[in-house]
Structure 1
Amino acid sequence: MRDNIAIDGPAGAGKSTVARQLAKRLGYLYIDTGAMYRALTWKALKEGTKVTDEAALVDLARNTSLEFKEVAPGEVSVYCDGEDVTRLIRSPEVSRHVSTVAAWPRVREEMVKLQRDLAARRKVVMDGRDIGTHVLPEANHKFFLTASLEERARRRWQELIAQGNKFSLEEIKREIEERDRRDSQRIVAPLRPAPDAVIIDTSNLTPEEVTEHILKTIRKNC
């Protein structure tokens, strides 16, 4: 799994967009690990499972089928128990609760097993918050994307507005700030750059510019 690419960073840093572009350019499978936690959160909310009940969430994870189906190069759909939930898992309600679900150690154990299994089958570009530090620490290529809180909030706000949701920029900013706090302070696999990760501030860069920078770095190190 050493040829896999690990991309970490906080919400709104551009991980998903860049990871998709890289996967398309390189012919790798794109794995959004955040989508896995979102899918589990979506199912928990749907079925009334408390996000504060670790044991119940672990049981739910063990009885949930999560799949990534490649619909085009660099583009995947997320399926939960056979249902396409790609758009459903991006709802504000799921966003509010996903960090709580992802913070449970035993839930992460179940998810990491699946993530490593996916990475063992074929070359992947995997993004998340602990890929380079915990999920794929042996990956040769590790990157950590970041950006200012203001820029990350603006990006997320524009995304939600485009989907027809009505939230103020300040609401989104507070939500992301709180999520940053939870992700960076959790006991198991907290959000932080791997010691050997290349850190890229995307605040003033387009996704295409970030992708090119990563590709040049990979080619230079090969």
Structure 2
Amino acid sequence: MKKVTIALDGFSSTGKSTVAKRLARELGYVYVDTGAMYRAVTLYALRKGYIGETEKNVKALIDDLPQLKLSFQVNFDSNQSEIHLNGENVEGEIRNLRVSNKVSKIAAIQEVRQKLVEQQQKMGLEKGIVMDGRDIGTVVFPEAELKVFMTASPEHRAQRRYKELLERGEDITYEAVLKNVQERDYIDSNREISPLRKAEDAIEFDNSNLSLEEQFQAIYKLALEKIEA
């Protein structure tokens, strides 16, 4: 059976990572969460004081980029691939709202995107990969055999994200999460470097009223069609 490249793009909190992880597992493909990569860089910038409440020290972060080592390693307890920053597992820490509030701004820095896109393209040289993010089908893998652009209303996405954060013990309000979702949508869609947009040949997939199982089955069917074509 031939291997293909599968690109899942879309707005924040549309469930891209959840679907992509299961899709990769079912197909026996490699899964790469590019959002986790940008979140890890954001966490690094926060820890170093390169980004604060009102400003960021872009030059210092850029100068430090060669020192950043990102890798994905399997957690054998959960059987999930988790991101490591300079050898430290930061999977849990990158998911909080503190990082979420800054990640779109860090992801808009040209040098950051260039470094991570180069790494992502190397990961996909042999195909058999499922990658999700904002610019996978337009920049990272424009020749991907299957491109899916996932979307849902801001309110649906905020509710999902709010529930996830509460389950992790975060002290947060729905209004704060909705504001974060809306702000990230604006920044992701309007940045100069690799803005979020649907590739011309991508399949738009609105999952506002779909369960996780319904989402997975629909996209799994699309993947099988491309693999068997």
| TM-score range normalised by the length of the shorter chain | over 0.9
**1:4 maps to which residue?**
5
**1:14 maps to which residue?**
15
Q: Contact conserved, 1:6 with 1:127, CA < 8 A, in 2?
A: yes
**1:213 maps to which residue?**
218
Say yes or no: does 1:196 pair with 2:196.
no
**1:137 maps to which residue?**
142
How far is 1:121 from its partner? 4.9
CA deviation string 1:186-219 (max 9, x = no partner): 0111011111011111111112211111121222
**1:90 maps to which residue?**
95
Q: Contact conserved, 1:130 with 1:190, CA < 8 A, in 2?
A: yes
Q: For 1:207 and 1:142, how far apart are their aligned partners in 2? A: 19
* TM-score (normalised: structure 2): 0.92
Q: Which amino acid letter does the alignment assign opposite residue 5 of structure 2?
A: N
**2:175 maps to which residue?**
170
Q: Contact conserved, 1:7 with 1:131, CA < 8 A, in 2?
A: yes
Q: For 2:29 and 2:75, how far apart are their aligned partners in 1? A: 13
Q: For 1:126 and 1:74, how far apart are their aligned partners in 2? A: 18
Q: Which amino acid letter does the alignment assign opposite residue 18 of structure 1?
A: V
CA deviation string 1:25-45 (max 9, x = no partner): 001111010100100110111
Distance 1:145 1:210, change over 3 A: same
SS class of match (1:108)? helix
Q: Which runs of 5+ in 2 are unaligned?
A: none
Say yes or no: does 1:76 pair with 2:74.
no
Q: For 2:80 and 2:141, how far apart are their aligned partners in 1? A: 21
SS class of match (1:193)? coil
Q: For 1:74 and 1:4, how far apart are their aligned partners in 2? A: 22
Structure 1 runs, 4 residues or longer, greater than 4 Å off: none
SS class of match (1:17)? helix
Q: Which amino acid letter does the alignment assign opposite residue 64 of structure 1?
A: L
Say yes or no: does 1:47 pair with 2:13.
no
CA deviation string 1:78-131 (max 9, x = no partner): 100000000011121111111110001121011101111111255211000010
Q: Contact conserved, 1:147 with 1:203, CA < 8 A, in 2?
A: yes
Q: For 1:48 and 1:170, how far apart are their aligned partners in 2? A: 27
- Could you tell me which of 45, 58, 63 is aligned with 1:59? 63
Q: Which amino acid letter does the alignment assign opposite residue 16 of structure 2?
A: K
Q: For 1:8 and 1:62, how far apart are their aligned partners in 2? A: 27
**1:115 maps to which residue?**
120
How far is 1:148 from its partner? 0.7
Q: For 1:116 and 1:48, how far apart are their aligned partners in 2? A: 30
Q: Which amino acid letter does the alignment assign opposite residue 68 of structure 1?
A: F
Work out the percentage of aligned pairs sharing the same amino acid.
43
Q: Which amino acid letter does the alignment assign opposite residue 10 of structure 1?
A: F
* TM-score (normalised: structure 1): 0.94
Q: For 1:176 and 1:190, how far apart are their aligned partners in 2? A: 16
Q: Over aligned residue pairs, what C-alpha RMSD do you find?
A: 1.6
Q: For 2:58 and 2:200, how far apart are their aligned partners in 1? A: 30
